[in-house]
Amino acid sequence: MKTMNELSAVVRQTAYDIHVYHGNGHLEKVYENALVHRLRKAGFDVKQQHPLKVHDEDGTIIGEYFADLLVDNCLIVELKAAKTIADEHIAQTLGYLKASRIEHGLLINFGSYRFQIRKFIFNNGKVTEAVMKKLMCFFPFVSVFSAFFVAKQKCT
C-alpha cells in the first residue's frame, strides 16, 4: 500500500501525462476513461462514478452524489473539462469529501491549455488545501527540463 502522498503523486503524474498526450478539448468522460485505464494498468483499484450517500444529522439519507473516481478506496478524484477551475468545482469536491468521510481529494481540470490540479484534505470538519497547488505551476517546467536532459543523454 502506498502512502497518500505517493498515491496522489502517481495520480497527478498520470493525469499530467494524459493532458500532455491528449491535450485539451475532449469531453470529461474521455479523460475519465483514460485515467481509469492507466491507473488500473498500473495496478490500482479504481471505481468510476462511485455513489456517495449524503446523510442528515439524524442519519437519514437525503441524497446521493457520484464521485468521478475513487482510487484505492481512499482518494476521491473529481475531473473537469472546463476553461478553469471554478468555485463551484471546489464546493462539489469538498461536498464529496464531507459526504463520504474520505479525507483526501484531487480536483483535476483537463479543459485548460494549462494543466490544473488541486488537492484537498478534509479532516475533522476542517478543509486544508495541500501545497500541491502552489507547486504545480513549476511542474510543466520541471518535466520539460528533465525530458530535455533525458533525450540529450540518449543521443550521446
pLDDT score of 1: 53
Q: Which residue, among 130, 99, 125, 100, has the nearest Cα to 4 in the 3D structure? A: 130
Q: Is 104 exposed, middle or buried (0-12, 13-18, 19+ CB in 10 A)?
A: buried
Q: What is the pLDDT of residues 147-156, one digit of tens each?
A: 444 444 444 4
Q: What does pLDDT average to over the chain?
A: 85
Residue 78, pLDDT > 60, answer: yes
Residue of 100 and 112 predicted with greater confidence: 112
Residue indicated by cell numbers 494543466? 115
In this prediction, residue 43 has a pLDDT band, given cuts at 50, 70 and 90, of very high
Q: How far apart are CA 63 and CA 41, in angstroms?
A: 33
Model pTM score: 0.79
Kindly indicate whether the domain formed by 4-155 is annotated with CATH number 3.30.720: no
The structural domains of the chain, with segments of one domain joined by +, span: 4-155
